[in-house]
Amino acid sequence: MFYFKGTRKPDFKNIKKVIDYDQYWRVRGFKIRDKLMAREKICFDWIKPDSSVLDVGCGNSRFLYELKKNKNCQVYGLDVSGLVIDSLAQEGIAGRVIDITKTDFDFIKEKEFDYIILNEVLEHVINPEEIIGKLKGKGRFFILSVPNTGFYRYRIGLMFFGRFPTQWAMHPSEHVRFWTHKDFLDWISDLGLETISCKTTDGFQFFGNSWKNMFGHLISYLVKEKK
Confidence check: pLDDT of 186 > 90:
yes
Q: What is the pLDDT of residue 3?
A: 44
In which band, very low, low, confident or very high, does the pLDDT at 108 lie, cut at 50, 70 and 90?
confident
What lies within 8 Å, CB to CB, of 111 at 6+ separation is 137, 138, 139, 140
d(CA 34, CA 44): 15
CB 179, CB 144: distance < 8 Å = no
d(CA 71, CA 74): 9
Q: What is the pLDDT of residue 2?
A: 43
One-letter amino acid at 149 equals: T
Share of the chain above pLDDT 90, in %: 56
Q: Is the dihedral of CA 146, 148, 149, 154 positive or negative?
A: negative
> Average per-residue pLDDT in the chain?
87
In which band, very low, low, confident or very high, does the pLDDT at 59 lie, cut at 50, 70 and 90?
confident
In which band, very low, low, confident or very high, does the pLDDT at 207 lie, cut at 50, 70 and 90?
low
Higher pLDDT, 10 or 224: 224
pTM for this model (two decimals): 0.88
In which band, very low, low, confident or very high, does the pLDDT at 203 lie, cut at 50, 70 and 90?
low
Q: What is the pLDDT of residue 9?
A: 74
Average pLDDT over residues 21-50: 86
Higher pLDDT, 82 or 166: 82
Domain 5-225 has CATH 3.30.2130.10: no
Read off φ and ψ for residue 38, nearest 5 degrees. Answer: -55, -45
d(CA 188, CA 225): 10
pLDDT digits (tens, 9 = 90+) for 120-156: 999 999 999 999 999 999 999 999 999 999 998 889 8
In which band, very low, low, confident or very high, does the pLDDT at 196 lie, cut at 50, 70 and 90?
very high
In which band, very low, low, confident or very high, does the pLDDT at 1 lie, cut at 50, 70 and 90?
very low
Residue 105's region, left for phi above 0, alpha for psi from -120 to 50, else beta, is left
Least Cα distance to 53 among 32, 28, 70, 31 occurs for 70
Average pLDDT over residues 65-91: 93
